[in-house]
Amino acid sequence: MTGLSNYFRTRAALVTGTVDAIVEREMSEVGVLAPTSAEDLVDALCGLIDYTNVANRTVTAARLVLFLEASHDPALREALARGRAAMEASAVSAFHRLGARDPQTAATAVMACAEGLILHRIARHDTADPRPTFELVVRAAVS
C-alpha cells in the first residue's frame, strides 16, 4: 500500500506540475490582459488563438488530453481550477477596464468562445478566422 500511495503522490505531483507549467506558459505569452479598447482586446484574443494553435500547438493538444483526463481525476481538476481562476481573473479585469456592464458574463462568454475555437483548430484543423467571433462577443459585452 505504501508503494501504491507513493505512486499516486508522484503521479498527482507530476500532473499538477504539468498543468501549472502549461498555465504559466500561456499566461506569460498572452500576458495580463490590459486592453485600452475593445479592438485591443480582440487583437489579444486573436493572438491567443494563434499562439495556442501554432507556436504552442503540441502543448495545447497535451492540455486538452489532460482536460479529458481531469473528468475522472479530482486532483487534476483542482490543478485546472487554479489555472482557470488565474485566467478568469485576468479576463474579468480586462472587461472591467473596458467598462463592460457585466464583466463576469463577458469573461465567461469570451473564454468559452476561445476554448471552442481552440478545440476545433486542434481537432478538425479548423482554419476559420476567429476575429468575427471575438468582435461579435467583445462588442456586445462592452457596448
Least Å from the CB of residue 85 to a copy of itself: 11
CA–CA distance, 68 with 77 (Å, rounded to integer) = 10
71 near a copy of itself, rule: CB under 8 A: yes
Q: Is the dihedral of CA 38, 44, 50, 56 positive or negative?
A: negative
The site for a copy of itself, by CB under 8 A, has a size of 37
Could you tell me which residues come within 8 angstroms of residue 104 by beta carbon, excluding any fewer than 6 positions away?
Answer: 92
Give the phi and the psi of residue 126 in degrees, each rounded to 5. Answer: -60, 135
The residue from 18, 67, 90, 93 that contacts a copy of itself (CB under 8 A) is 67
102 near a copy of itself, rule: CB under 8 A: yes
CA–CA distance, 20 with 79 (Å, rounded to integer) = 7
86 near a copy of itself, rule: CB under 8 A: no
108 near a copy of itself, rule: CB under 8 A: yes
CA–CA distance, 142 with 117 (Å, rounded to integer) = 21
82 near a copy of itself, rule: CB under 8 A: no
The residue from 44, 84, 87, 90 that contacts a copy of itself (CB under 8 A) is 84
The letter for the amino acid at 136 is L
- The residues of the shown chain that bind a copy of itself, judged by CB under 8 A, are 61, 64-65, 67-68, 70-71, 77, 80-81, 84, 102, 105-106, 108-109, 111-117, 119-120, 122-125, 128, 132-133, 136-137, 139-141
